[in-house]
Homo-oligomer: A and B are copies of this chain.
Amino acid sequence: MATSSAPGTAPEVLAEGPDVEQAVHATAARAREAARRLAVAPRADKDAALEAMATQLLASATAVLEANARDVEAAEGAGAAASLVDRLRLDEDRVAGMAAGLRDVAALPDPVGEVLRGSTLANGLELRQVRVPFGVVGIIYEARPNVTADAAGICLKSGNAVLLRGSTSARHSNAAVVDVLRAGLAAAGLPADAVQLVRGTGHEAAKALMRARGLVDVLVPRGGAGLIRSVVLESTVPVIETGVGNCHVYVDAAADLDMALDIVLNAKTSRPSVCNAAESLLVHEAVADVFVPRVVGALRDAGVAVHGDEWFQRETGVVAASQADYDEEFLSLDIAAAVVPSLDAALEHIRRHSSAHSEAIVTDSLEAARRFTAEVDSAAVLVNASTRFTDGGEFGFGAEIGISTQKLHARGPMGLPEMTSTKYVVTGHGHIR
């Protein structure tokens, strides 16, 4: 039986080497104990804990910001890129946003206990399929410390204990936030060990988490392609792969070209650093003469570098696309572009290069829309809409742990129900076969 650690004081696990695995597994064992209690906690208790977490976070903003200042200073001292420092930095508004996020999750319906199927079998057995928590969820994520509160809130509401493995660069911020969240849990009478940080610098601790099969039920990596790939390949714990988005916009022969221009610009430029931003543009050759000059001009005006095929290269400022550009998730003001001779060629290009996140077609042809939605094998397929809509908030899910790009369990934006499993409850009165 694992010893529970004091509320508000996340246990220090800083050793490296062979001790790390043991320490991480002890943390996971405490999480399992906490998960047993969370699994049967009624909604009211979980919502009270979320509210207490939010209140504590606002009351402890100064301590959190002081811890964050240490991380920011260390990152700047180490010469980290400005974009990393920006993701790392918290301020009063961001802390308030974390608290508001926890309250938003409290307001969402509790997925646990939902009956998904129910029937009385021919022999009189009563069958029900009921949503239950996974148990222990591990989240491995990169710089942004607000993920710490967001992920903890979603896991708590879905009845799961969570093991948080943030990046070393955010370690003081994450520790401060987790201390506050644990105090909130304890104040509401729930086990503080339902939210724990997996400590220890370097790859050892993350690796121990990936090998904690039987102690951890699901791992969700959130971050860049390298992080996700490493978790997918190394983990013996089941993984939900999230987020890499090489999203395509295909402008069909039957497109409304004004609409196409708006959608391309929105998908590429409204927030280039996120996974649902467009990274590739395909244009049917029937409209290329008219559309390519217009879209290149508009993208150039918006500061976008176009990496184009020969057709696109006729336009000023377009650089030659390498084959690798068509596989790239730029996450910047860059886009790969090509002209295709047919819808079939567009489908083939997407099949070859897409990361299966989100692809959009702009068309007024019912048949082209029908084939595109049927044949593109991605988490989201959009017709006459920007790829930027693939998002838990936009879909009305209220909270999102990430966007799954795998086919097992969950695909697309993952809200609270996607953070649960099910079990069958079968009731008889002496039934035998």
Residues in chain A within 8 A of chain B (CB atoms): 36, 39-40, 119, 121-122, 125, 127, 129, 132, 134-135, 213, 217-218, 232-233, 236, 238-240, 256, 259, 262-263, 265-267, 270, 351, 369, 373-375, 377-386, 388-390, 394-396, 406-409, 411-412, 421-433
Which residues of the other chain, B, contact A407 by a CB distance below 8 angstroms? Answer: 134-135, 217-218, 238, 421
A424 touches B381 (CB 8 A): yes
How far is A259 from B429 in the complex, measured between Cα atoms in Å?
A: 8
Of the candidates B135, B213, B270, the one whose C-beta lies within 8 Å of that of A433 is: B270
Which residues of the other chain, B, contact A431 by a CB distance below 8 angstroms? Answer: 263, 384-386, 389
B432 touches A262 (CB 8 A): yes
How far is A284 from B322 in the complex, measured between Cα atoms in Å?
A: 71
B379 touches A423 (CB 8 A): yes
How far is A125 from B388 in the complex, measured between Cα atoms in Å?
A: 12
A408 touches B409 (CB 8 A): yes
B408 touches A132 (CB 8 A): no
Q: For residue A211, which residue of chain B has the nearest CB?
A: B233
How far is A388 from B127 in the complex, measured between Cα atoms in Å?
A: 14
Please state the number of chain copies in the assembly.
2
A394 with B433, Cβ < 8 A, contacts A375-B40, A385-B125, A423-B379 known:
yes
Which residues of the other chain, B, contact A424 by a CB distance below 8 angstroms? Answer: 379-381, 390, 395, 411-412
B36 touches A433 (CB 8 A): no
A384 touches B263 (CB 8 A): no
Report the minimal beta-carbon distance from A228 to chain B, rounded to whole angstroms. Answer: 13
B266 touches A432 (CB 8 A): yes
B236 touches A232 (CB 8 A): yes
Report the minimal beta-carbon distance from A182 to chain B, rounded to whole angstroms. Answer: 24
Q: For residue A382, which residue of chain B has the nearest CB?
A: B426
How far is A395 from B119 in the complex, measured between Cα atoms in Å?
A: 9
B256 touches A425 (CB 8 A): no
A119 touches B396 (CB 8 A): yes
A421 touches B433 (CB 8 A): no
A423 touches B394 (CB 8 A): no
B422 touches A411 (CB 8 A): yes
A423 touches B411 (CB 8 A): yes
How far is A236 from B369 in the complex, measured between Cα atoms in Å?
A: 34
A433 touches B389 (CB 8 A): yes
